[in-house]
Every structure is written in structure tokens, then in C-alpha cells.
Structure 1
Amino acid sequence: MAVQPEGTPCWADAMFSDVEGAKSFYGDVLGWTFGESSSEYGNYTQAYADGKAVAAVVPPMPGQEGMSQWCLYLASPDAAATAAKVREHGGEVLMEPMAVGDFGTMCLARDPSGAVFGIWQAGVHEGFEAVARPGAFAWAEVFTRDPGASDGFFPAVFPYRSQQMQDETMDFRVYSVGENPVLGRMRMGEEFPPEIPAYVNVYFAVADCDEAVAKATKLGGVLRFGPMDSPFGRFAALSDPQGASFSVIDLTTTEGEMPPMGDA
């Protein structure tokens, strides 16, 4: 796939203390295969779905051991300029833009509500080689207790059009690049324990949501929500055995009408 427009999700990776355990779990649940780990880059190991690069797993760097979590990277033509915008609009740069060989330049940031995300300026590694098919990235949402902070931040840092879903049961907004929805923003309610910080939830596509949930829970994963039918697909929220949250979605099984959207 070509370099993605600015603000488009372009890659996802996660640190795991037990990388082999993570490879076994996601290999069974999402059908991933794995490339050779690169010792030059901290044993970074790419995951593939049908031969297409879709994510990566890596052991934690010294001092970063602990809870595993997925990190979503948003495309940027200039990581340093995006980092400056992050600071300008009340966010925090957790890791300054850093060249990763000739693969590209990465940066880690946090929005004002506490959600951590990555920034990726593509070099030879342009990002996802496949999306929206079994095993590949499908969607992502910023889960936050302070939606106003996120809504003020993301469209200021990236060229997003922001639209509010007209649904009285939830506070949900969609950020789009042009006409393409690329990222959701969900208000965290009381169903989320207070110790859970704001985070970016990554969805991976599966051929059968219920089958993926059954595999995940059998292997020590925890079902957090669902499976549930929606106009976007049948989905469920899970945590893997090392605590990383993610969701699975069958994009082909849809139910109900798309909710109306209103411009912010």
C-alpha cells in the first residue's frame, strides 16, 4: 500500500514481556505468521496476514516492563512538525521523533486526555500492507473521559473533519480525512473502572467474530464486551493474556441502519 494521507492510521505494534506467548496467542486468534526478529531494532518482529505485513510485536525496552498495550501510529509527512503541533495544542511528546534506519521516523505522543498514540513518517516502511480483511487492521477509537479535550486536540494536529454521531445512548465522534472516516472517539462511561486510563482501541478484522472470541478466551484472553451486532460489523472487545486490549470485528456481518452524523 502507498504512503497514507496525513492522520490516517498506518501501523500498530505492541510491547510484550512474553513475545513468544504473544505470537502464539495472536497467531491462533488472528491467523498471524511472524517474520524474523530484528536484533538491530530491539527484536522487533513483524506480523503477517496472508503474507501482508499488518502489525508488529516487540519485547519491552529496559524500564518499560509491565502492562502490554497496542500502539496505533498515525501517518505524518513530517514527524517533527506534527510533534510541534502536539505540544502547541496541549498534548505531550513522550518520545522525540527518531529515525529508525531507513524505515521511517517514529514519535510517541499523548493527547490532553491521556491517550497515547504514535506518529509515523514513512521511509521504506510505508505501514500496513493490508487493511480491512481477516487478520488486518480494521478501525480504531480513542477512548477518553474528557471528549472535549480530545475533540479539540486531534483535529488541530491532523487535518480531520469532525462529526458527532447522532445517538442518545453514546457520545461518539468520527474523525475523517476528506470523505474517509479514519478514527473514532468514544466517551468512557462508568462501565470503565477509574484506574483504566484513556487509550486507543485497535480493531482487527476477523472472518468470524464468535470464533475469534472463543479462541481468545480459550487461550487465556478476557472478553470485555460483546460479541455485538452493529451497522459496522459484529464485534467484541478483548484483553489478551498479557493485558493488552484490542477488539475483533467481522466487517461482513452487519445489522441495523447507519446512525446519522452531524458536523461539529
Structure 2
Amino acid sequence: MKIDQYFQGQPCWVELASLDIAISKPFYHALFAWDIVDMPIPQGTYSMFNLEGDDLGAMYQLPVEMIKTGELSQWLIYFAVEDLDNTLVDVAGAGGTIVLGPHDVGEAGRMAVITDPEGAKFALWQANNHMGAQRAGEKGTLCWVELACRQPKIAKPFYSHVFGWGSRVTDMDGMEYTAWQVGSQEVGGMMTMTDEWGDMRAHWMSYFTVGDCDAKALQVVELGGAICVPPTDIANVGRFAVVNDPNGAVFSIIELKIA
């Protein structure tokens, strides 16, 4: 499905910071059939991935100096905002922290990287010539984003204040689950981390649509990645798995149930 507009608070882009982009490129091309298009930028190369010419997200090589400081391969989710500067005022007022930016990205738009009060990292995007991902709702595209945190009573008012999100709380297999809403559309969720998560930090997770979760999870391993959470059913939703790419970046794949 083609996308031609994003509204305040909708996830609009994903970006992979890679420890070794020479490994990341063939992995994601094989797994999701993404075409990789390199674009020169002042810092090096920004590698866009797309389907049939439509941009879906991007990846880049982590600089050596960042790797030396302990930076790891990781996915970053961007959320659309109508006015970046005003949103940053809301971020500060709600207890968030600006860790990068704000700055212009050529003529494409303006961005900033944020951490919420618990330290979960995400990015804001005010579009100019590039709105973000141009497709959704098909295999290989981002379909859901999810916040795992330990303090949902702090996270909920923070994100509602910054993005204007509504929320709907449901019981999911005995666990309270919050769905984030932009108008009537559910765009993501929030779950509470338990002691079983160990010392893992609060974080945002990207979910990509696949046709067969079990087969795709096996392919991840065949391509040099690993399975963190094996394929598991979610009642009335579908079947998902949490995986690592060969560089350790974590993401989820989900086979959505067709009504």
C-alpha cells in the first residue's frame, strides 16, 4: 500500500545503525527482498532500502569512534511531527532529553533524537521533501512499533503530551497491554518489562510484516542471525518472533492474522 502523508505521532521511518554495513546489506536484502541504494552524505554513505523504488528506511555504518565507545547495532524509529521546535519544547516539559539535533537533513526535512524519561531512544521527523517510508501494509514493511518499559505510568503521560496520542488498554494473555492511538488508528503499543527482562533498558521495538513467521525465523538463522524469542502466537493478532541480525541489532517479525 502506498503512503502519501503522515500525521503527528505516526511512525514514519526506521533506520539501522550497523557495526558492519557490509554484513547488514546482504542480510536484509535476502531476508526482506529490500533493494539497497547508496547515497553519498558528508559523513560517508547513507544506504536507503526500498521496494520497487519506494523508500522504506535506511542504514548506515557506525563510525569507528562510536564503536570504540561501546555503541551497538540498533534500529531507531522516527515519528512524524508537524513542528519540530514546538515538539521539542513539549519533550523537555514532559521530562525527555534531546540527545542529537535539532538539525536539517538537506532539503529532506528536520530531525532530532530523543530519549524519554526512562531512557528509551526514538527520533522526531519534520518532513520537507521526504515524508518518510512510502509503503506500508505489505511484506517487508514496518507494521508496528512497541515500547517496552518499567514505568508505564510515567511513559503514558509523556508520549500523550509529546504526540497527542490516545491509548486503549487491553488484556493480552494475562498482561496489560496499551495500544497507542493517532485519532482512531492504532500505531503502536506499550508493555511493562518484568523481572524476567533482567537489566535490559527500556526500548522501542520495530515489527516488520512477513508471510510465514516460522520460515522467516529459520531464514534469519541461516543468514547468520539469531532467534531471541521463538515464533509465538498472539491471540487474534498473528504470530511473531524477536530476532537478532548478524551484527546483533534486535527487531521483530510478525505474520499477521487475516480476518
**Fold similarity call, TM over 0.5:** yes
Give the counterpart of 1:23 among 22, 25, 35.
25
Specify the SS of the correspondent of 1:191: helix
Which of residues 230, 236, 243 is equivalent to 1:226? 230
The answer to whether 1:184 aligns with 2:178 is no
* Distance across 1 between alignment mates of 2:114 and 2:253: 25
Worse-matched range after superposition: 242-251 or 47-56 = 47-56
Q: Separation in 2 of the partners of 1:51 and 1:193?
A: 41
User: Secondary structure of the equivalent of 1:197?
Assistant: coil
1:1-264 matches, within 5 Å, as 1-40=3-42, 42-61=44-63, 63-65=65-67, 66-167=71-172, 169-194=174-199, 196-230=200-234, 231-252=236-257
Stretches of structure 2 that go unaligned for 5 or more consecutive residues are: none
63 and 78 in structure 1: CA distance in 2 versus 1, 3 angstrom threshold? farther
Q: Is the 8 A contact 1:145 1:198 kept in 2?
A: yes
Q: Secondary structure at the match of 1:173?
A: strand
Q: Deviations over 1:161-205 (max 9, x none)?
A: 1111134621311110110001211111222121x2111000011
- TM (norm. structure 2) is 0.93
For the residue of structure 2 that corresponds to 1:204, the secondary structure is: strand
May I ask how many residue pairs the two structures share in their alignment? 253
- TM superposition score normalised by structure 1: 0.91
Give the match's secondary structure for 1:35. Answer: strand
Q: CA deviation at 1:89?
A: 0.2
Instruction: State the distance in 1 between where 2:116 and 2:249 align.
Output: 19
Distance 2:76 2:208 in 1: 13
SS at match of 2:85: helix
Change (3 A) 1:150 1:13: same
Give ranges in structure 1 of 5+ residues lacking alignment: 255-264
AA matched with 1:93: I
Query: Over residues 123-154 of structure 1, what are the superposed CA-to-partner deviations in whole Å (9 max), with x where a residue is unaligned?
Result: 11111111121111110101111111211210
Would you say the 8 A contact 2:209–2:254 is kept in 1? Answer: yes
By percentage of residues, which structure has more strand?
2
